[in-house]
Protein backbone atom coordinates (compact mmCIF):
# COMPACT_ATOMS: atom_id res chain seq x y z
CA UNK A 1 0.00 0.00 0.00
CA UNK A 2 1.41 3.42 -0.92
CA UNK A 3 -0.16 5.61 1.76
CA UNK A 4 0.62 9.34 1.85
CA UNK A 5 1.44 9.32 -1.88
CA UNK A 6 -0.21 11.98 -4.05
CA UNK A 7 -1.08 10.84 -7.58
CA UNK A 8 -2.49 12.65 -10.62
CA UNK A 9 -4.22 10.80 -13.47
CA UNK A 10 -3.95 11.74 -17.15
CA UNK A 11 -5.96 9.64 -19.65
CA UNK A 12 -5.89 9.78 -23.46
CA UNK A 13 -8.34 8.20 -25.91
CA UNK A 14 -6.55 7.98 -29.29
CA UNK A 15 -8.68 8.28 -32.41
CA UNK A 16 -9.50 4.86 -33.80
CA UNK A 17 -9.29 3.06 -30.47
CA UNK A 18 -13.05 2.95 -30.14
CA UNK A 19 -13.04 4.25 -26.56
CA UNK A 20 -13.45 8.00 -27.05
CA UNK A 21 -16.83 8.09 -25.30
CA UNK A 22 -15.47 6.08 -22.35
CA UNK A 23 -12.62 8.38 -21.34
CA UNK A 24 -14.44 9.66 -18.25
CA UNK A 25 -15.32 6.12 -17.20
CA UNK A 26 -11.70 4.99 -17.65
CA UNK A 27 -10.32 7.90 -15.63
CA UNK A 28 -12.80 7.39 -12.78
CA UNK A 29 -11.88 3.70 -12.61
CA UNK A 30 -8.17 4.50 -12.18
CA UNK A 31 -8.92 7.18 -9.60
CA UNK A 32 -11.07 4.78 -7.57
CA UNK A 33 -8.42 2.07 -7.81
CA UNK A 34 -5.65 4.44 -6.67
CA UNK A 35 -7.73 5.60 -3.72
CA UNK A 36 -8.57 2.03 -2.78
CA UNK A 37 -4.85 1.29 -2.92
CA UNK A 38 -4.13 4.10 -0.45
CA UNK A 39 -3.11 7.07 -2.58
CA UNK A 40 -4.38 10.64 -2.48
CA UNK A 41 -5.59 11.55 -5.97
CA UNK A 42 -5.63 15.08 -7.38
CA UNK A 43 -9.11 15.77 -8.74
CA UNK A 44 -10.08 17.77 -11.81
CA UNK A 45 -8.39 18.68 -15.07
CA UNK A 46 -4.71 17.92 -14.46
CA UNK A 47 -3.45 20.02 -17.39
CA UNK A 48 -5.51 23.07 -16.41
CA UNK A 49 -4.56 22.77 -12.73
CA UNK A 50 -0.87 22.40 -13.56
CA UNK A 51 -1.04 25.37 -15.92
CA UNK A 52 -2.54 27.58 -13.24
CA UNK A 53 -0.04 26.48 -10.63
CA UNK A 54 3.07 26.59 -12.78
CA UNK A 55 5.83 29.17 -12.38
CA UNK A 56 9.60 29.08 -12.63
CA UNK A 57 10.82 27.08 -9.67
CA UNK A 58 7.38 27.22 -8.04
CA UNK A 59 6.59 23.96 -6.28
CA UNK A 60 4.29 22.98 -3.42
CA UNK A 61 7.20 23.55 -1.02
CA UNK A 62 7.93 26.93 -2.61
CA UNK A 63 4.30 27.94 -2.21
CA UNK A 64 4.24 27.02 1.46
CA UNK A 65 7.45 28.94 2.09
CA UNK A 66 6.17 31.97 0.17
CA UNK A 67 2.92 32.26 2.11
CA UNK A 68 4.68 31.59 5.41
CA UNK A 69 7.19 34.42 4.87
CA UNK A 70 4.53 36.89 3.76
CA UNK A 71 2.18 35.96 6.61
CA UNK A 72 5.00 36.41 9.10
CA UNK A 73 5.58 39.96 7.84
CA UNK A 74 1.87 40.79 8.10
CA UNK A 75 1.75 39.37 11.62
CA UNK A 76 4.86 41.36 12.59
CA UNK A 77 3.30 44.56 11.22
CA UNK A 78 0.07 44.05 13.14
CA UNK A 79 1.91 43.31 16.37
CA UNK A 80 3.89 46.52 15.90
CA UNK A 81 0.64 48.45 15.41
CA UNK A 82 -0.66 46.94 18.63
CA UNK A 83 2.43 48.27 20.41
CA UNK A 84 1.93 51.65 18.68
CA UNK A 85 5.24 51.20 16.84
CA UNK A 86 3.68 52.73 13.75
CA UNK A 87 6.76 53.22 11.55
CA UNK A 88 7.98 49.69 12.24
CA UNK A 89 4.54 48.24 11.52
CA UNK A 90 4.20 50.19 8.26
CA UNK A 91 7.64 49.01 7.12
CA UNK A 92 6.83 45.32 7.77
CA UNK A 93 3.50 45.60 5.94
CA UNK A 94 5.21 47.35 3.00
CA UNK A 95 7.65 44.43 2.77
CA UNK A 96 4.71 42.02 2.71
CA UNK A 97 3.07 43.94 -0.13
CA UNK A 98 6.34 43.96 -2.09
CA UNK A 99 6.61 40.19 -1.62
CA UNK A 100 3.06 39.59 -2.85
CA UNK A 101 3.19 41.97 -5.85
CA UNK A 102 5.02 39.73 -8.42
CA UNK A 103 2.74 36.78 -7.63
CA UNK A 104 -0.65 38.48 -7.68
CA UNK A 105 -1.76 36.28 -10.59
CA UNK A 106 -1.59 33.18 -8.40
CA UNK A 107 -4.67 31.84 -6.64
CA UNK A 108 -5.06 33.12 -3.09
CA UNK A 109 -2.30 35.73 -3.26
CA UNK A 110 -4.67 38.65 -3.89
CA UNK A 111 -6.64 37.95 -0.72
CA UNK A 112 -3.49 37.92 1.41
CA UNK A 113 -2.11 41.02 -0.29
CA UNK A 114 -5.40 42.84 0.44
CA UNK A 115 -4.97 42.11 4.13
CA UNK A 116 -1.47 43.57 4.08
CA UNK A 117 -2.66 46.69 2.20
CA UNK A 118 -5.57 47.24 4.59
CA UNK A 119 -3.40 47.23 7.72
CA UNK A 120 -0.72 49.27 6.01
CA UNK A 121 -3.42 51.86 5.36
CA UNK A 122 -4.17 51.90 9.08
CA UNK A 123 -0.49 52.49 9.88
CA UNK A 124 -0.25 55.29 7.29
CA UNK A 125 -3.40 56.95 8.62
CA UNK A 126 -2.06 56.91 12.17
CA UNK A 127 1.22 58.35 10.87
CA UNK A 128 -0.72 61.27 9.39
CA UNK A 129 -0.27 60.21 5.75
CA UNK A 130 -3.98 60.35 4.89
CA UNK A 131 -3.57 60.35 1.10
CA UNK A 132 -1.31 57.28 1.12
CA UNK A 133 -3.70 55.57 3.54
CA UNK A 134 -6.59 56.15 1.11
CA UNK A 135 -4.53 54.66 -1.75
CA UNK A 136 -3.68 51.61 0.35
CA UNK A 137 -7.31 51.01 1.29
CA UNK A 138 -8.48 51.34 -2.30
CA UNK A 139 -5.76 48.91 -3.32
CA UNK A 140 -7.03 46.44 -0.71
CA UNK A 141 -10.58 46.76 -2.07
CA UNK A 142 -9.34 46.16 -5.64
CA UNK A 143 -7.59 42.97 -4.53
CA UNK A 144 -10.48 41.79 -2.36
CA UNK A 145 -13.81 43.65 -2.76
CA UNK A 146 -15.15 42.16 0.48
CA UNK A 147 -12.41 43.82 2.56
CA UNK A 148 -13.78 45.39 5.76
CA UNK A 149 -12.43 47.61 8.52
CA UNK A 150 -14.90 48.22 11.33
CA UNK A 151 -14.94 50.03 14.67
CA UNK A 152 -14.56 46.63 16.34
CA UNK A 153 -11.12 46.39 14.69
CA UNK A 154 -9.80 49.98 14.83
CA UNK A 155 -10.59 53.39 16.30
CA UNK A 156 -13.88 54.94 15.08
CA UNK A 157 -12.20 57.75 13.12
CA UNK A 158 -10.01 55.21 11.28
CA UNK A 159 -13.05 53.09 10.39
CA UNK A 160 -14.86 56.20 9.11
CA UNK A 161 -11.85 57.21 7.00
CA UNK A 162 -11.74 53.70 5.51
CA UNK A 163 -15.43 53.87 4.59
CA UNK A 164 -14.95 57.34 3.09
CA UNK A 165 -12.03 56.10 0.95
CA UNK A 166 -14.24 53.45 -0.63
CA UNK A 167 -17.25 55.64 -1.32
CA UNK A 168 -18.42 56.06 -4.91
CA UNK A 169 -15.70 57.65 -7.01
CA UNK A 170 -15.71 59.25 -10.46
CA UNK A 171 -15.08 56.94 -13.41
CA UNK A 172 -12.09 57.08 -15.74
CA UNK A 173 -11.06 55.03 -18.80
CA UNK A 174 -8.58 52.16 -18.52
CA UNK A 175 -7.26 50.63 -21.75
CA UNK A 176 -5.30 47.38 -21.48
CA UNK A 177 -2.92 46.27 -24.22
CA UNK A 178 -1.74 42.66 -23.99
CA UNK A 179 -1.19 39.59 -26.18
CA UNK A 180 -2.93 37.42 -23.59
CA UNK A 181 -6.40 37.02 -22.08
CA UNK A 182 -6.98 39.94 -19.71
CA UNK A 183 -8.77 40.02 -16.36
CA UNK A 184 -9.46 43.26 -14.47
CA UNK A 185 -10.25 42.98 -10.76
CA UNK A 186 -10.92 39.28 -11.29
CA UNK A 187 -13.33 39.70 -14.22
CA UNK A 188 -12.82 39.29 -17.94
CA UNK A 189 -13.88 42.54 -19.66
CA UNK A 190 -15.99 42.68 -22.81
CA UNK A 191 -13.97 45.53 -24.31
CA UNK A 192 -10.37 46.73 -24.39
CA UNK A 193 -11.32 50.03 -22.72
CA UNK A 194 -13.19 50.08 -19.42
CA UNK A 195 -14.73 52.81 -17.30
CA UNK A 196 -13.51 52.21 -13.74
CA UNK A 197 -13.44 54.18 -10.48
CA UNK A 198 -10.26 56.19 -10.13
CA UNK A 199 -7.62 54.41 -8.07
CA UNK A 200 -5.69 51.16 -8.30
CA UNK A 201 -6.99 48.07 -10.09
CA UNK A 202 -5.53 44.59 -10.52
CA UNK A 203 -4.88 43.61 -14.15
CA UNK A 204 -3.87 40.00 -14.95
CA UNK A 205 -2.96 38.54 -18.37
CA UNK A 206 -2.71 34.85 -19.26
CA UNK A 207 -2.03 32.80 -22.38
CA UNK A 208 -1.24 29.10 -23.02
CA UNK A 209 2.48 28.45 -22.94
CA UNK A 210 3.24 31.87 -21.45
CA UNK A 211 4.10 32.93 -17.94
CA UNK A 212 1.11 34.86 -16.50
CA UNK A 213 1.68 38.48 -15.50
CA UNK A 214 -0.14 40.84 -13.15
CA UNK A 215 0.17 44.46 -12.13
CA UNK A 216 -1.68 47.03 -10.08
CA UNK A 217 -2.61 49.92 -12.36
CA UNK A 218 -3.37 53.33 -10.85
CA UNK A 219 -6.18 54.89 -12.89
CA UNK A 220 -6.15 58.73 -12.66
CA UNK A 221 -9.09 60.97 -13.50
CA UNK A 222 -7.77 61.45 -17.05
CA UNK A 223 -7.56 57.69 -17.66
CA UNK A 224 -4.58 55.55 -18.55
CA UNK A 225 -3.36 52.85 -20.95
CA UNK A 226 -1.66 49.82 -19.38
CA UNK A 227 0.53 47.39 -21.32
CA UNK A 228 1.14 43.87 -20.01
CA UNK A 229 3.64 41.73 -21.90
CA UNK A 230 3.87 37.98 -21.49
CA UNK A 231 7.05 35.95 -21.69
CA UNK A 232 7.28 32.50 -23.25
CA UNK A 233 7.75 29.74 -20.72
CA UNK A 234 9.13 26.42 -21.98
CA UNK A 235 7.69 24.49 -19.05
CA UNK A 236 4.29 26.12 -19.40
CA UNK A 237 4.33 25.30 -23.12
CA UNK A 238 5.18 21.68 -22.33
CA UNK A 239 2.25 21.52 -19.88
CA UNK A 240 -0.14 23.07 -22.42
CA UNK A 241 0.99 20.51 -25.03
CA UNK A 242 -0.18 17.69 -22.75
CA UNK A 243 -3.70 18.18 -24.08
CA UNK A 244 -2.56 16.67 -27.38
CA UNK A 245 0.11 14.15 -26.36
CA UNK A 246 1.91 12.96 -23.21
CA UNK A 247 5.38 14.48 -23.58
CA UNK A 248 7.87 13.51 -20.86
CA UNK A 249 8.88 17.13 -20.19
CA UNK A 250 5.26 18.23 -19.85
CA UNK A 251 4.37 15.35 -17.53
CA UNK A 252 7.32 16.12 -15.26
CA UNK A 253 6.53 19.86 -15.27
CA UNK A 254 2.90 19.10 -14.38
CA UNK A 255 3.97 16.74 -11.60
CA UNK A 256 6.21 19.41 -10.07
CA UNK A 257 3.61 22.17 -10.47
CA UNK A 258 0.92 20.06 -8.79
CA UNK A 259 3.23 18.87 -6.03
CA UNK A 260 2.35 15.26 -6.91
CA UNK A 261 4.56 12.29 -6.14
CA UNK A 262 3.54 10.56 -9.38
CA UNK A 263 1.38 10.91 -12.48
CA UNK A 264 -0.33 7.92 -14.06
CA UNK A 265 -0.40 8.45 -17.84
CA UNK A 266 -2.74 6.10 -19.69
CA UNK A 267 -4.16 5.52 -23.16
CA UNK A 268 -7.38 3.57 -23.65
CA UNK A 269 -9.02 1.55 -26.40
CA UNK A 270 -11.61 -1.17 -26.83
CA UNK A 271 -9.44 -4.20 -27.55
CA UNK A 272 -11.12 -7.52 -28.34
CA UNK A 273 -14.38 -6.06 -27.04
CA UNK A 274 -12.99 -4.95 -23.63
CA UNK A 275 -12.01 -1.51 -22.32
CA UNK A 276 -8.21 -1.66 -22.10
CA UNK A 277 -5.59 0.60 -20.51
CA UNK A 278 -1.93 0.96 -21.49
CA UNK A 279 -0.28 3.04 -18.77
CA UNK A 280 2.95 4.17 -17.17
CA UNK A 281 3.59 5.80 -13.81
CA UNK A 282 5.95 8.80 -13.91
CA UNK A 283 7.87 9.88 -10.83
CA UNK A 284 10.74 12.30 -10.22
CA UNK A 285 13.26 11.62 -12.99
CA UNK A 286 11.99 8.14 -13.84
CA UNK A 287 9.06 6.09 -15.04
CA UNK A 288 7.73 2.56 -15.22
CA UNK A 289 7.48 0.35 -18.28
CA UNK A 290 4.15 0.33 -20.11
CA UNK A 291 1.57 -1.93 -18.44
CA UNK A 292 -1.50 -3.16 -20.37
CA UNK A 293 -4.59 -4.27 -18.44
CA UNK A 294 -8.36 -4.60 -18.72
CA UNK A 295 -8.98 -4.10 -14.96
CA UNK A 296 -8.19 -0.80 -13.27
CA UNK A 297 -7.35 -2.34 -9.88
CA UNK A 298 -4.91 -4.78 -11.46
CA UNK A 299 -3.43 -1.97 -13.57
CA UNK A 300 -2.71 0.12 -10.45
CA UNK A 301 -1.25 -2.87 -8.61
CA UNK A 302 1.11 -3.68 -11.47
CA UNK A 303 2.16 -0.06 -11.94
CA UNK A 304 2.95 0.23 -8.25
CA UNK A 305 4.98 -2.99 -8.36
CA UNK A 306 6.84 -1.97 -11.51
CA UNK A 307 10.33 -0.55 -11.29
CA UNK A 308 11.14 3.08 -12.09
CA UNK A 309 13.74 3.49 -14.85
CA UNK A 310 15.57 6.74 -15.51
CA UNK A 311 14.65 8.36 -18.83
CA UNK A 312 12.05 5.70 -19.56
CA UNK A 313 10.05 6.79 -22.64
CA UNK A 314 6.30 7.27 -22.57
CA UNK A 315 5.29 4.60 -25.10
CA UNK A 316 1.64 4.05 -24.23
CA UNK A 317 0.44 4.83 -27.76
CA UNK A 318 2.75 2.14 -29.15
CA UNK A 319 1.20 -0.64 -27.02
CA UNK A 320 -0.44 -3.20 -29.39
CA UNK A 321 -3.81 -2.91 -27.66
CA UNK A 322 -3.81 0.85 -28.34
CA UNK A 323 -2.07 1.01 -31.72
CA UNK A 324 -3.93 -1.95 -33.25
CA UNK A 325 -7.00 -2.82 -31.16
CA UNK A 326 -8.59 -6.14 -32.11
CA UNK A 327 -12.28 -6.43 -33.01
CA UNK A 328 -14.64 -8.14 -30.61
CA UNK A 329 -14.63 -11.93 -30.86
CA UNK A 330 -17.64 -13.68 -32.41
CA UNK A 331 -20.46 -13.87 -29.90
CA UNK A 332 -18.98 -11.10 -27.74
CA UNK A 333 -20.39 -7.58 -27.52
CA UNK A 334 -18.35 -4.37 -27.59
CA UNK A 335 -18.67 -4.17 -23.80
CA UNK A 336 -16.80 -7.47 -23.42
CA UNK A 337 -19.86 -9.60 -22.60
CA UNK A 338 -20.65 -12.80 -24.51
CA UNK A 339 -23.88 -12.54 -26.46
CA UNK A 340 -26.47 -15.27 -25.93
CA UNK A 341 -27.84 -17.02 -29.08
CA UNK A 342 -31.37 -16.03 -30.02
CA UNK A 343 -34.09 -18.67 -29.36
CA UNK A 344 -37.40 -19.13 -31.12
CA UNK A 345 -40.32 -17.20 -29.65
CA UNK A 346 -42.92 -19.52 -28.11
CA UNK A 347 -46.56 -19.24 -29.21
CA UNK A 348 -47.78 -17.76 -25.91
CA UNK A 349 -44.94 -15.21 -26.00
CA UNK A 350 -46.24 -13.69 -29.23
CA UNK A 351 -48.29 -10.56 -28.54
CA UNK A 352 -50.80 -11.01 -31.38
CA UNK A 353 -52.12 -14.19 -29.70
CA UNK A 354 -53.11 -12.25 -26.57
CA UNK A 355 -54.53 -9.40 -28.60
CA UNK A 356 -56.86 -11.90 -30.28
CA UNK A 357 -57.90 -13.51 -27.00
CA UNK A 358 -58.70 -10.20 -25.36
CA UNK A 359 -60.60 -9.04 -28.46
CA UNK A 360 -62.70 -12.21 -28.54
CA UNK A 361 -63.58 -11.86 -24.86
CA UNK A 362 -64.62 -8.26 -25.41
CA UNK A 363 -66.91 -9.16 -28.33
CA UNK A 364 -68.50 -11.97 -26.30
CA UNK A 365 -69.30 -9.65 -23.39
CA UNK A 366 -70.90 -7.07 -25.71
CA UNK A 367 -73.08 -9.72 -27.41
CA UNK A 368 -74.16 -11.23 -24.11
CA UNK A 369 -75.29 -7.86 -22.77
CA UNK A 370 -77.25 -7.01 -25.89
CA UNK A 371 -78.94 -10.43 -26.33
CA UNK A 372 -79.89 -11.00 -22.70
CA UNK A 373 -83.73 -10.82 -22.42
CA UNK A 374 -85.31 -7.90 -20.50
CA UNK A 375 -88.46 -8.06 -18.24
CA UNK A 376 -88.63 -11.86 -18.49
CA UNK A 377 -90.97 -13.93 -16.22
CA UNK A 378 -90.55 -17.53 -15.34
CA UNK A 379 -93.15 -20.09 -14.06
CA UNK A 380 -92.66 -23.63 -13.04
CA UNK A 381 -94.59 -26.47 -11.50
CA UNK A 382 -93.24 -29.52 -9.88
CA UNK A 383 -94.96 -32.75 -9.02
CA UNK A 384 -93.71 -36.12 -8.22
CA UNK A 385 -94.20 -37.45 -11.71
CA UNK A 386 -93.15 -34.65 -14.00
CA UNK A 387 -91.39 -31.31 -14.15
CA UNK A 388 -92.36 -28.42 -16.43
CA UNK A 389 -90.95 -24.95 -16.90
CA UNK A 390 -92.90 -22.09 -18.49
CA UNK A 391 -91.35 -18.98 -20.04
CA UNK A 392 -92.78 -15.77 -21.40
CA UNK A 393 -91.28 -12.46 -22.41
CA UNK A 394 -92.56 -8.96 -23.17
CA UNK A 395 -89.73 -8.45 -25.65
DSSP code of 384?
S
Question: Are the C-beta atoms of 166 and 146 separated by less than 8 Å?
Answer: no
pLDDT band at 56 (very low <50, low <70, confident <90, very high): low
So what's the pLDDT on residue 148? 94
Among the listed residues 268, 209, 318, the one whose alpha carbon sits nearest the alpha carbon of residue 10: 268
- Whether 391 shows a pLDDT value over 60: the answer reads no
Domain spans, the chain: 169-232, 350-393
pLDDT at residue 352 above 70? no
Range 318-347 average pLDDT = 69
Please determine, for residue 118, whether its predicted confidence score (pLDDT) is greater than 60: yes
Dihedral of CA atoms 317, 321, 326, 331 in degrees, nearest 10, equals: -140
Q: Average per-residue pLDDT in the chain?
A: 86
* Whole-number Å distance between alpha carbons of 282 and 347: 61
pLDDT score recorded for residue 220: 94
Residue 332, pLDDT above cutoff 80? no
Residues ≥6 apart with Cβ < 8 Å to 188: 181, 182
> In terms of pLDDT, which residue wins out, 381 or 73?
73
Q: Tell me whether residue 88 is exposed, middle or buried, using C-beta atoms within 10 angstroms of its C-beta: 0 to 12, 13 to 18, 19 or more.
A: middle
Cβ within 8 Å of residue 25, ≥6 positions away: 275
**92 versus 359: which is more confidently predicted?**
92
State the pLDDT at residue 393. 44
pLDDT for residue 346 is more than 90: no
Residue 75 is predicted with a pLDDT of 97
Residue 112 has pLDDT above 90, yes or no: yes
Greater confidence (156 vs 50) lies with 156
Q: What is the pLDDT of residue 384?
A: 46
pLDDT at 152: 95
Residue 139: predicted pLDDT: 95
Task: Tell me the chain's radius of gyration from C-alpha atoms.
Answer: 38
Give the pLDDT band of residue 259 (cuts 50, 70, 90).
confident
DSSP string, 152-206: TTS-HHHHHHHHHHTS---EEEEEEEESSEEEETTB--SSSEEEEESEEEEEEEE
In 3D, which of 274, 263, 257, 384 has the Cα closest to residue 334?
A: 274
17-30 average pLDDT score: 92
The span from the CA of 288 to the CA of 295, in Å, is 18
Angle at 218 (CA atoms; ends 72, 196), nearest 5 degrees: 115
Q: Please, which pLDDT band fits residue 233 given cuts at 50, 70 and 90?
A: confident
- Check residue 395 and give its pLDDT: 41
Question: Strands 199-206, 213-219: parallel, antiparallel or unpaired by DSSP?
Answer: antiparallel
Mean per-residue pLDDT for 245-252? Answer: 92
- pLDDT digit string, tens, across residues 161-203: 999 999 989 999 999 999 899 999 988 998 889 999 999 999 9
> Mean pLDDT, to the nearest integer, of 71-82?
97
Whether the Cβ atoms of residue 171 and residue 183 lie closer than 8 Å to each other: no
Predicted confidence at residue 240, as pLDDT, reads: 87
Which residue has better confidence, 34 or 234? 34
| pLDDT tier, 349 (very low <50, low <70, confident <90, very high otherwise) | low
What pLDDT, on a 0 to 100 scale, did the predictor assign at position 191?
A: 87
Report, as an integer, the average pLDDT of 49-67.
Answer: 76
Amino acid sequence: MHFLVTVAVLVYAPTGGGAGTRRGEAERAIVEAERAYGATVIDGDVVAAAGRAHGDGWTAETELGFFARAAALVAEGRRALGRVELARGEAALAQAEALYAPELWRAGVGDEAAEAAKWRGVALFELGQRGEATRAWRRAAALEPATQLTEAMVRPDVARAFAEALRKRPLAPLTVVSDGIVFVDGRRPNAATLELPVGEHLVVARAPGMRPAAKLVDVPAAGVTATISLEADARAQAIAALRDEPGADGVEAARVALGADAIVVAAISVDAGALTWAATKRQAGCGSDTVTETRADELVRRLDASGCRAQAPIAIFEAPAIAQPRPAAAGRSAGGRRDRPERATRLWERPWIWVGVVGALGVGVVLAVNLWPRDATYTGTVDYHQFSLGYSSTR
